[in-house]
Amino acid sequence: MTRFANAYWSPDYRSGIELLSQQLLDSLDQLHELRKFIFNYMNYHHSNSGYMAKLARESLPLDSSFRSERNERRIISGSQRSTSELKPKEIDVRHVFKEFVDRTALELQMQLNLASEIESEVLGKITGFIKLHEPQIKTTLDRFDELLDDYDDSRQKMERTKRKYDELVRLGELEGHDHRIEHDPDESYGTLPGTPERPKHVYESEEEGEREDGPPELDLAYPLLLGGGLKFESKDKLQSFLAKAIATITTVKRKIPFPGYRNEIFSSDQLCNYLKTHRPHGFNPTRSSLEKLGQSLIDRKIILGSGLFSQKFKSEGMWFEWSQEAVNTAESRGYVSSSSSTVTLPTSQAFSHLGLEESSRKVNEVAGSTSKRFNMMFKNVKSSLMKPKFSEEAINELEEEYNEAYEDVQKIKHLLDMEIFNKSQIFERFEMVRIEVVYQSLTKLLEVLYRNSSQATSSLHDFTSNFIENLNKPVNYERDLRDLLHNNSTGIYFPAIVLPHQGKEHFDPSLLNISFQNIKFTFNLYKDIPLQVKSSDVEKDTLLSTRSLPLLLKGLVEATFSAEKSEMQDLWLAPIDHQEYWLLKHEAIDLIQKFEPTEDLNIQDEKAVEVAIVQKVIEHLSKSKTKRILNFLKNWLLETSDSVIPCTVYDSLLNSQKNSEENIADVIKTLSSIPRSNLCSLLFILESISFIFELQTIDEYGLSDDITESERKDEDLMPQVEKLNSMDKIGSVPFLHLIFRPSVVKNAGGFKPPQEAYNALLRTLLNVNVREKLCIALITNEKNFLERTKRQEQNLGINRRIVSSDTTTTPDVPKIEKDTTHLNKAIQDWNHTTPVAYQLARSFQESN
């Protein structure tokens, strides 16, 4: 059975956490309903049979969490049903609870002295269980919400810093260009047709003041999520909220009017008191959530501050006014009550003469015109003062700020991972105990009734025996837990590359994995497989079957060959260690961020810089233990923006397995069409796995490109396939999930792999005949690519420049010093076993 720690992950985090939270809240609701039922059952002995029928109806309402369908109807009859009617179709918690409630509808007489015994032996234990666990669960759920908010804020802070950095770099380029124009006007005149435009954002403040297309309203995207957890599904909900708030919160007039500002203002204390007394649905008015909500109102221009330091909301001692857009939005539906008129300027009805009306109108027109002029003047001065200035110090500060923000994101992401990983295990134990409590409490209640009731009928005896013998079984506990997991879980571990606040409805695919570990050199360790630096970028004369292999993948796999086969098998089958991965990942990130190119490295050559960084990462990681290296490799395969087998062929591969497990031709045809780097990586990983688990391997792979089809006899692969794709251990993911995943956009809310189809596909991939055909297709694709490239160069008249080894831009990387005692023994063993293992081990030895 899948464990809780493996089943509530989602790329956006929020989907898995929300479903887990909802499941726990439903479980607590079930406990409260169970407690309420037993409490009411105790009071039954002070009433009559008619009250007992009423109790049965109230204990299982239409919206009860014990109903499989909330609109399920229950018919209460006074006649006893037959044995076939009482026989359940499926035994679960909902069924046993419903059966017991139905049974109470048939009970007409009970003794009053049972009430005290029921209270002491059943009700007290349930109450103690709820009091013990409910506060802990709610505290943990609040912690989840805080971490999600912190993660959102840190990601947004990182993106803002990145935008500032890009803007400052562009300003630097413009200033450099202007400098060249001043020193060489003739050249500048010849190369530039005109003066470059100012950035668009410089004029935004001026254009905003000039646009007037009628009464402006708030332009917001819905559903709108404000700080503190307040959410508006539509514009109507926001209008209703604003209208009530504007009408309820009392305003006062300014002592000194300011041009461009409203004369009616209110304090932050009044706003907070309103939110506490008129609590919106789903909002918890703590001090932290109140200040987050107030800050969101400022950021979205719903309320405006009255001073220079009013952009940061505090719950005490600040003054604000409603923005004109907020007032227009509220008035568009006519929600504002007449009470709001008490804080506005007197209307024309307060004047008794037509002359006073005309004078008031002219004064208002002059004041409005003056306010507009002052607003335009202030906005122009503000845009001039806030225009960023380019400097190397500013660039360095933004780089440091970005690195800090990126590290904060990764730290909070790690905290989220560990919080989900640890708390889900605690919740799993809670759910197991809770289900047992439900069963055992109802069973205990039956035992008390049976032991103390001298007038128990034969039907009650039969019902009690059936409940104890057939319903209250550990097998039913496990089935309930399995059904609970199946109905509420989101999926297996899927590293987060989607922002939680976006979700799949508003997801922008261009934001996938654009985070850089080194923003200066725009280096990303987790970009797509085809975009990674390859072996051919370092070694020009390499085999066609391995020339498109990513350099990082090759280095990490080779670094594990010093271990024994049995140890490597255990490591590949071991679950993911998130803590160890974070420690090693943090070291790699720190190494990349602090990378400084050597003097002989041309930093304009992006490929050479990327090769140098990757080689330093490989050198550093290779010094770790094999267990840590392989754990890092698994997580690296999971965190790449697309899997080794691209998500574009996910549906076609799974469909081929659904139609027939022997439909090998379609699998080969589909995989032969993926990019060369992806196919090369897939073959390299499969050959390594085949060697480690002592399966048949491709002859001459890694030694020569003369690969032929041998049509060898199929071997029994299912035992190894089931081991590799097993999810029985906490933290484990299927091996196929490491190299084959669906689109993250379509599965942002979670992903549950089809186990049977995954086993069938992995069995096909591990078939040596299939791998031989894929290797031949890869070599053919490489030849065609090289020939096509050569023809294009000849057609364009481009002579390839041969770079000598002494002028290469790739810096030398220090050799890795490791104990090769076990490695030499492994090479001798692998040399007698398979050529691919010998080649992989020999390449590792040569690199040392």
Domain edges within the chain: 4-67+90-172+397-474, 224-331, 509-794
Do 834 and 691 meet the contact criterion of CB atoms below 8 Å apart?
yes
Cβ atoms of 769 and 710 within 8 Å: the answer is yes
Q: Is 614 exposed, middle or buried (0-12, 13-18, 19+ CB in 10 A)?
A: buried
Where is mean pLDDT largest: 55-69, 621-635, 815-829? 621-635
Strands 224-225 and 252-253: unpaired
Place of tokens 């940061």: 312
> What is the model's pLDDT at position 806?
38
Q: Which pair of structure tokens corresponds to residue 418?
A: 């560990």
Helix (H, G, I), strand (E, B) or coil at 8: strand
Residue 206, pLDDT score: 39
Continuous segment of H or E residues that includes residue 276: helix 268-277
Q: How confident is the model at residue 293 (pLDDT cuts 50, 70, 90)?
A: confident
Most confident segment among 316-325, 479-488, 630-639, 692-701:
630-639
The pLDDT of residue 731 is 83
Q: What pLDDT score does 372 carry?
A: 56
Our CA dihedral for 44, 50, 53, 54, rounded to 10 degrees, sits at -80
259 vs 295, residue with greater confidence: 295
pLDDT tens for 25-44 read 999 999 999 999 998 888 77
- 729's enclosing H/E stretch is none
**Measured CA distances, 44 to 52, 74, 115, 408, 466 (Å):** 6, 21, 8, 58, 24
**Residue range 598-626: mean pLDDT, rounded:** 92
Taking the C-alpha atoms of residue 328 and residue 535, their distance in angstroms, rounded to an integer, is 63
pLDDT digits (tens, 9 = 90+) for 78-104: 444 444 444 446 778 887 888 888 777
492 φψ region: left (φ > 0), alpha (ψ -120 to 50), beta (else): beta
Per-residue pLDDT band at 688 (split at 50, 70, 90): very high
Mean pLDDT of 171-182: 64
Assess whether pLDDT exceeds 80 at residue 608. Answer: yes
Q: pTM to 2 decimals?
A: 0.61
| Residue 455 pLDDT > 80 | no
| Residue 397, both tokens | 């500060």
Query: In the predicted model, what is the mean pLDDT of the chain?
Result: 78
412 vs 348, more confident: 412
What is the architecture, at CATH level 2, of domain 509-794? Orthogonal Bundle (1.10)
Task: State the pLDDT at residue 506.
Answer: 52
CATH code given to domain 224-331: 1.10.10.10
> What is the C-alpha radius of gyration for the chain, rounded to an integer number of angstroms?
35
Q: Are 161 and 405 in contact (CB under 8 A)?
A: yes
Q: Looking at mean pLDDT, say which of 59-68, 299-308, 759-768 comes out highest.
A: 759-768
| Beta bridge pairs of residue 225 | 231
Per-residue pLDDT for 48 more than 80? no
493 Cβ contact partners less than 8 Å away, ≥ 6 residues apart: 6, 9, 576, 638, 731, 733
CA distances from 763 to 141, 302, 433, 648 (A): 41, 59, 39, 21
**pLDDT > 90 in the chain, percent:** 30
The CATH superfamily of 4-67+90-172+397-474 is: Arfaptin homology (AH) domain/BAR domain (1.20.1270.60)
Asked if pLDDT for residue 632 goes beyond 70, the answer is yes
Distances (CA, A) of 680 to 6, 242, 604, 668: 30, 59, 29, 14
Checking if the pLDDT of 756 tops 60, the result is yes
Q: In the predicted model, is pLDDT for residue 751 greater than 90?
A: no
pLDDT for the residue 49: 65
Strand blocks (E) in 19-108 = none
pLDDT at 785 > cutoff 60: yes
Helices 93-106 and 392-452, packing angle to 10 deg: 40
Distance, CA of 746 to CA of 512 (rounded, Å): 13
Structure tokens at 37: 């039922």
Exposed, middle or buried: residue 119 (CB in 10 Å: 0-12, 13-18, 19+)? middle
pLDDT digits (tens, 9 = 90+) for 4-32: 888 888 888 888 888 989 999 999 999 99
Per-residue model confidence (pLDDT) at position 835: 41
* Both structure tokens of 673: 């069409």
> Does position 68 have pLDDT exceeding 70, yes or no?
no
Residue 758 has pLDDT above 60, yes or no: yes
Around 755, how many Cα atoms within 13 Å sit in the side-chain half-sphere? 13
How does residue 569 score in pLDDT terms, banded at 50, 70 and 90? Answer: very high
Mean of the pLDDT values across residues 536-558?
Answer: 90
More confident residue, 76 or 363: 363
In a 10 Å sphere around its CB, with 0-12 CB exposed, 13-18 middle and 19+ buried, how is residue 408 labelled? middle
Per-residue confidence (pLDDT) for residue 761, from 0 to 100: 92
Q: Are 583 and 520 in contact (CB under 8 A)?
A: no
- Check pLDDT > 90 for residue 833: no
Beta bridge pairs of residue 306 = none
Compute the distance between CA of residue 300 and CA of residue 308 in angstroms, rounded to an integer: 17
- Angle in degrees, 0-180, between the axes of helices 755-765 and 664-672, rounded to the nearest 10: 80
Q: Evaluate whether 224-331 and 509-794 have a shared fold.
A: no
CA angle at residue 397 from 395 to 403, to 5 degrees?
105
Strands (E), 213-302: 224-225, 231-232, 252-253, 264-267
Closest CA to 419 of 776, 722, 97, 9: 9
- Of 834, 201, 357, 816, nearest to 560 (Cα)? 816
